[in-house]
Amino acid sequence: MKKLKWGMIGGGEGSQIGPAHRLGSGLDGLLEFTAGALDHRPEQGIEYGQRLGLGDRAYGGWQEMLEAEKQRGDDKVDLVTVATPNSTHFEITKGFLEGGFHVLCEKPMTMTVEEGEEIVKIAEKTGNICAVNYGYSGYSLVRHMKAMIARGDIGKVRLVNAEFAHGHHADAADAENPRVRWRYDPALAGVSAQFADCGIHAMHMASFVTGQEVTKLSADTVSCLSQRVLEDDAMVNFRMDGGAVGRLWTSSIAIGRQHGLGIQVFGETGGLRWSQEQPNQLFYMPLNQRLQVIERGEANLSPEADRTSRVTIGHAEGMPLAFANIYTDLAEAIQARKEGRAMDPAADLYPKAVDGLRSMAAVVAVAKSGKSDGVWLDARPPMFQ
C-alpha cells in the first residue's frame, strides 16, 4: 500500500503538541510527513520544515500551502492536521475542507457553536473528513472500555464520573506569564478557560465510552485566582441521552495533580475505572465479585483493544501511541475512499466534527450556567435539539 501524504499547520519548533502529532502520524508507516506551514513566523516555519525534510513543501503560511498543494493534483497531501492556537482553527479547517483536503483539527474545533455548525455542514457538503483530536480516545484500554460497555459487561450505565484536573496554573505569581495569561483572557480564549481547554476532553471521553451524548448540564465555575475573568475550576453535573448521570470536575489549580484525566463508569452489574497516567491498566469490578486488573496487551481483549495495541504486555504505551491510533483510523478512512470500498468499521472510532460541535455547545452551556448559579441548560447544539 502506498503511503498517504500528511501535512501540518502549526506544531512548530518548541510547540507543545506538534511533536506528538509527528510521532503519532509516523508510527505505523501509513502516512508520510510531506508538507507543512509550521509556525506563525514564516521564515522560522520554512527553516524548521526543511530541517524536518519537507524541502520545497515547507511553506511560510497556511494559505500559501493550501494554494500550492491544490495545484499538485493527485500528489497533494491526503490529510492536514491543524495544530495552531484555538482562534485560528475555524478559518484554517474551513479553508482546507473547502479546498478538497481531509482535516484533523485540534480541540477545541472552533470558538463558537455557530462556527462548529458551519464546519459540520462544510464537511458534509464537501464529503471530506473532518476529525477532531480527542486523542485520548485512542488509548487501547479506552477502546476496550467502550467495547465492554457496549457488550453489556457492566449492564445499563447509571453513573459516569470524569475528571481532568491539573495544578499547573495554580501559582498566583505565574499568572501573568504570557503562556498562562491568554488562556484566561476572553478575547483570546473565548467564553471558557479550563472547561474549554481540559473539561471537554473528559466530557468527550464520557460520551465516547458510554455511547451516550450529553443532553443538559449544570455548572459551578469559579476563578480561584481572583484576578482571572474566566474559570480555573469547574464542577459540572450532566445528563446523557441513554439515561446516565454524569459528574465532571476540571481544574488548573489542583496542585500536585499532573495531567489528571480519568474516568469511572458505574453500571447496574459492574464498574470500570481508567486513568490516563496509568493507561495500561483498566480496573473492572463485576458486581459481587473480585476486582480485576485488565492489562493492555493481554490475551482475550476486544478486537478494538487488539488493533490499537502494538507493544507486548508489560511495556508502557503512552500518549503519542494513542494519537497514532487516531491516525491509523484516519488512514483507513482515507484509503477506503481512495479505493472506493467501505471502511473497516473497527476504525470508524476517530472523533468527528459533530463531536467538536457538541463540545462547543457544552462549553457555552457551562459558561452560561456558571454565571447563573448553576441553572440547568440544554447542552446540545441547535442542530441536535
Distance between CA atoms of residues 362 and 294, nearest Å: 32
We find the least distance from the C-beta atom of residue 84 to ligand NAI, in angstroms, to be 4
Compare residues 8 and 225 and give the one whose CB is closer to ligand NAI.
Answer: 8
Cell representation of residue 276:
490516563
Tell me if residue 272 falls in helix, strand or coil.
strand
Tell me if residue 312 falls in helix, strand or coil.
coil
In degrees to the nearest 10, what's the CA dihedral of 208, 212, 216, 222?
Answer: -30
- The reply on whether position 46 binds ligand NAI by CB under 6 A is no
- The reply on whether position 133 binds ligand NAI by CB under 6 A is yes
We find the least distance from the C-beta atom of residue 324 to ligand NAI, in angstroms, to be 13
Distance between CA atoms of residues 252 and 198, nearest Å: 9
Cell representation of residue 122:
462544510
- The reply on whether position 12 binds ligand NAI by CB under 6 A is yes
Residue 323 corresponds to which amino acid? F
- The reply on whether position 62 binds ligand NAI by CB under 6 A is yes
Q: Compute and round to an integer the Cα radius of gyration of the chain.
A: 20
We find the least distance from the C-beta atom of residue 136 to ligand NAI, in angstroms, to be 7
Check residue 86 and report its DSSP letter: G
We find the least distance from the C-beta atom of residue 83 to ligand NAI, in angstroms, to be 5
Cβ pair 235, 251 in contact under 8 A: no
Compare residues 88 and 223 and give the one whose CB is closer to ligand NAI.
Answer: 88
Closest CA to 79 of 325, 307, 332, 353: 332
We find the least distance from the C-beta atom of residue 92 to ligand NAI, in angstroms, to be 7
Check residue 254 and report its DSSP letter: -
Q: Taking CB under 6 A as the criterion, which residues in 224-253 touch ligand NAI?
A: none
User: Which range, of 85-93, 245-253, 269-277, 361-369, touches ligand NAI by CB under 6 A?
Assistant: 85-93
Compare residues 42 and 211 and give the one whose CB is closer to ligand NAI.
Answer: 42
Residue 227 has, within 13 A of its CA and on its CB side, a CA count of 12
User: Which range, of 35-43, 96-104, 242-250, 262-270, touches ligand NAI by CB under 6 A?
Assistant: 35-43
- The reply on whether position 49 binds ligand NAI by CB under 6 A is no
Cβ pair 169, 180 in contact under 8 A: yes
We find the least distance from the C-beta atom of residue 266 to ligand NAI, in angstroms, to be 26
- The reply on whether position 39 binds ligand NAI by CB under 6 A is yes
- The reply on whether position 16 binds ligand NAI by CB under 6 A is yes
By CB under 6 A, name the one of 4, 9, 46, 97 that touches ligand NAI.
9
Distance between CA atoms of residues 62 and 58, nearest Å: 10
- The reply on whether position 194 binds ligand NAI by CB under 6 A is no
By CB under 6 A, name the one of 47, 52, 88, 310 that touches ligand NAI.
88
Distance between CA atoms of residues 79 and 108, nearest Å: 19
- The reply on whether position 35 binds ligand NAI by CB under 6 A is no
Cell representation of residue 78:
491526503
- The reply on whether position 15 binds ligand NAI by CB under 6 A is yes
Judged by the rule CB under 6 A, the positions of this chain that interact with ligand NAI are 9-12, 15-17, 37-40, 62, 83-86, 88, 106-107, 133, 135
